[in-house]
Chain A
Amino acid sequence: GAVVSQHPSWVICKSGTSVKIECRSLDFQATTMFWYRQFPKQSLMLMATSNEGSKATYEQGVEKDKFLINHASLTLSTLTVTSAHPEDSSFYICSARDVISYEQYFGPGTRLTVT
């Protein structure tokens, strides 16, 4: 089956530092990847849509300068949380859409804790 990986699975960083999260589609190609944020016991909130070779599209209220997204290849997208603050602590989940089947598969998530 289609597999999406995320790295790291969890990270603790100090306030003011930057953190990069990688999302890879392992056995399929994805021209479109999505980044979500999820708070405890809540559903997924779409942050941005990442398109291979072009700029990401951010949802309303999401700061593009704070959450930098790069989708440089058909199998890799990265999310960099810049100048992280404690309120950025959350569960970040990426998703990749298979270019052939159009099905959307999710990664295992990255737990970010900012101290």
Chain B
Amino acid sequence: EDQVTQSPEALRLQEGESSSLNCSYTVSGLRGLFWYRQDPGKGPEFLFTLYSAGEEKEKERLKATLTKKESFLHITAPKPEDSATYLCAARPEGANNLFFGTGTRLTVIP
């Protein structure tokens, strides 16, 4: 059964304290691992798509990496404006839709 699990459920960081969010996936034939950011009361905002193990993508303070079983979203020197829920999703082979994890709620304290 296709499944996506994110950890931790919630994370509180001091401003400048780097950390990583984890996304473990078990899908048949991964055709894309997606990261989104969601602010309260808003739709998810696209961040990255990763397609193959070893691939990395960066955007400002965020870097996403992918292995055969999991993906990490590294946050370097976070700022309070990085506070949001980060969602991970996987698209299995032959599937039209994405399977979402339950998200990691990140709070960055000034």
In the bound complex, do residue B45 and residue A104 qualify as a contact, i.e. CB atoms below 8 Å apart?
A: no
How far, in whole Å, are A109 and B45 apart by their CA atoms in the complex? 11
Chain A, range 73-115, C-beta contacts under 8 Å to B: 91, 93, 95, 102-109, 111
CB neighbours of A103 from chain B (8 A): 46, 49
Interface size on A, residues (CB 8 A): 24
Of A43, A93, A104, A109, which is within 8 A of B102 by CB?
A43
Minimum Cβ distance to chain B for residue A11 (Å): 14
The binding surface of chain A is classed by DSSP as strand
Q: Is the CB of B97 within 8 A of A34?
A: yes
B46 adjacent to A106 (CB under 8 Å): yes
Number of A-B contacts (CB under 8 A): 43
CB of A106 within 8 A of CB of B97, answer no
Q: How far in angstroms is the closest Cβ of chain B from A93? A: 5
Number of interface residues of B (CB under 8 A): 19
Residue from A32, A46, A95, A104 with most neighbouring chain B CB atoms (10 Å): A104
Identify which of B32, B42, B45 gathers the most chain A CB atoms within 10 Å of its CB.
Answer: B42
Least CB distance, A66 to chain B, in whole angstroms: 20
Given A34-B97, A102-B32, A103-B46, list of 4 further CB < 8 A pairs? A46-B98, A91-B41, A104-B34, A106-B36
Does any Cβ of B come within 8 Å of A44's Cβ? yes
- CB of A42 within 8 Å of the partner chain: yes
Is the pair A104, B46 in contact by a Cβ cutoff of 8 Å?
A: yes
Are B43 and A109 in contact, CB atoms less than 8 angstroms apart?
Answer: yes
